[in-house]
Amino acid sequence: MDPTLTLPPHLVEQARAFTDGAKEPATPRAASTVVLLRDGDGKPGGLESYMLRRHVGMQFAAGMSVFPGGGVDDKDSELDPALWAGPSPQEWAQRMDCTPDEAKELVCAAVRETFEESGVLLAGTADAVVADTTGDDWERDRAALEAHQLAFSDFLAARGLVLRSDLLSVLGGWLTPVFEPKRYLTWFFVAALPDGQVTRDVSTETDQVAWLTVRDAIRQADEQQMLLLPPTYATLCDLYDATTPAEALAHVGDIPFEMITPTFNPETNRLESNDRIVQLGIRVGEAVHGS
């Protein structure tokens, strides 16, 4: 598999309707997703990433294995600046090619959604990170956040915590193709699993979770044992050469930011991305299957 995709017949017809101008695309919703990483075997492709398989009944990406994440919530914009530590929204905006307000919402959504979907919290104090979120009180708060009964800002304030934006690095973004009925403008972040914290199978939108090496996830996708969307596959390829989480975060920060929009080619019936992504997929695919 490369980070493009030959569309099935029913999607080809749908894509052509938008190419011909017969239909108007849906407005995309801003979203964040986070690649949680932990140490693996110390070799290229050996880093482990946390992945969730979405229920087959979901309206978007049904049956696909994805990273934790989701759409920006209205309350994400309400985060008190006093509850933020690390690079400022202004600094994030420069990297993310968006406004400071948008950067604030997206980083907040990244941290909130990671907690909601994995139980991992990228927060703490100015000099320490939360080390354990497995207690019943943490689970009550996590469930309340997921049910939109609790604002993330109120959650942090009640616990005397601050969002730690320094624990994240942003890789780039992907815009869902125009022919999809639900579309997202998604920023992809990377974070290391904090010391002492553990992931938990808590998301109501998934039926299976697993820590997989980058190498195995790519191999399983290529062998059609696991379904990955092109952005997920491409992100794994971008992380292939890193051998530690710290190396991955530094590498991600060095990649020029780009918002990628896969386009439909009516001559080949394929989704096409840019040349960097295609060549990356070819190189990593050869490394995975040659190992």
Q: Is the pLDDT of residue 76 over 90?
A: yes
Closest CA to 168 of 6, 14, 32: 32
pLDDT at 58: 46
Give yes or no for residue 2 having a pLDDT over 60: no
Pairing of strands 123-124, 162-164: antiparallel
Q: Quote the DSSP letter at residue 81.
A: G
- SS3 assignment, position 38: strand
**Contact by Cβ (8 Å): 223, 1:** no
pTM, 2 dp: 0.91
**Tokens representing 33?**
């997703």
Q: What is the pLDDT of residues 183-239, one digit of tens each?
A: 999 999 999 999 999 999 886 666 789 999 999 999 999 998 888 888 999 999 999
Domains of the chain: which residue ranges? 5-46+60-290
Beta strand ranges found along the chain (DSSP E): 5-6, 29-38, 48-54, 65-66, 69-71, 84-85, 123-124, 162-164, 168-175, 184-192, 206-213, 259-260, 263-265, 270-272
Assigned CATH for 5-46+60-290:
3.90.79.10
Mean pLDDT, the chain, rounded, equals 90
Instruction: State pLDDT tens for residues 157-172.
Output: 999 999 999 999 999 9
Under a CB-based contact definition with an 8 Å cutoff, are residues 210 and 51 in contact? yes
Q: How many CB atoms lie within 10 A of CB 59?
A: 8
